[in-house]
Amino acid sequence: MKNLDKFLSLLGDQADGLLLTSRYSRHYGVEFDIAEGVAIVTKNGCRYFTDSRYIESAQNHIRDFEVLEMNRENNYYKLINQAITDFSITKLGFEEDYLTVAEYNSYAEKLDTSLVPFNEQIHQFRAVKEDWELERMRQAQKITDRAFSEVLEKIKAGMTEKQLQAELIYCLYKNGGDGLSFDPIVVSGPNTSLPHGVAGDRVICQGDFITMDFGVIYQGYCSDMTRTVAVGYATEEMEKVYNTVLKAQEAALAATKAGIIGREIDSIARQVITDAGYGKYFGHGYGHSLGMEVHELPSCSPGGQTVMQVNMVSSAEPGIYLPGKFGVRIEDVVVFQESGCENITTSPKKLIIV
């Protein structure tokens, strides 16, 4: 089924048109990525509006939509209102999670129809991935794995976190990334106790842990992985914490399959960490979905209520963070299947000492 057909299946009594303003939904609907634009979807016709910077590319690549140029004479409001008239739209579903209050107020004031919050319905299809989406994610992860392998050779005591971050970003692009899934996290020593720490001028030293959390975008789809490595040597305590995190991940991965509830996977990993005496140092959830965005629903967190389906995707990232000392996180990305899961992350997880 085309992605457009999925959107069309939503139309009925609740809404007879969809207003796609987020880059993700526009990309999903037309199966081509354009930085700026707005799309209208109805059973009577579909239109895509963008400006002069992107109009030629849109006209060359977008199918099943009438592509029109937005300009000073024909702004988005005028073009959308013309579509509202031409397609007899009375209720227009919109992505409330992706509009500012100012943007919503402007649409509500200037559009000649009723606006209906429709974010959950519009985004629901992205939870279960099509085979072609999974293939893009596999390719994104291959790029990420290669970059990790290469950056390991560049780590040395005496360089700063920022210098290592720059090397990592270079490796991600050099190996084929179209962009970054998010700003990479590169922290060392006591900074590794900060789950989302920011690379700074700290000099990496012998005996440090280094945590690197990073990913790329490939043809519109994200990868995400985390590895923690030691520089020179690891203390007994560092090895204990690292192996606890790895054991927690392995236990949860063994239970990961379609039909399980997201929170149940989290609880398996969390119990291993709790039994080892580190429960209060694992503050975030075990996993989140990803795809066109690096954080999507459903989640495998303490609040995750979704029964996981075949071809849903989740990160697998337990962690332990000891304030002022160090932290460890290990993250893979997995695809749910009937009898287990496909781990699309292939980088080694045994403690690496560089």
pLDDT (tens digit, 9 = 90+) per residue, 40-52? 999 999 999 999 9
pTM of the predicted model as reported, rounded to 2 decimal places: 0.92
Q: Answer yes or no: is 223 within a domain.
A: yes
- The domain tally of the chain equals 2
Among candidate residues 126, 152, 172, the one where a domain is terminated: 126
Q: What average pLDDT score do residues 231-260 get? A: 98
Let me know if residue 320 belongs to a domain: yes
Q: Tokens 């994104």, residue?
A: 140
Q: What are the tokens at 167?
A: 């090397």
The yes-or-no verdict on residue 1 having pLDDT over 80 is no
CA distance readout (Å), 167 to 2, 111, 154, 354: 39, 48, 7, 16
Question: What per-residue confidence (pLDDT) applies to 2?
Answer: 87
Range of the domain at 235: 128-343
Number of residues written out for the chain: 354
Residue 133: name the closest of 27, 235, 39 by CA: 27
Answer yes or no: do 333 and 295 share one domain.
yes
Q: What CATH number does residue 272 fall under?
A: 3.90.230.10
Coil vs helix vs strand at 280: helix
- Least Cα distance to 183 among 205, 163, 201, 168 occurs for 168
* Residue 176 DSSP symbol: T
Of 85, 107, 126, the one marking the end of a domain is 126
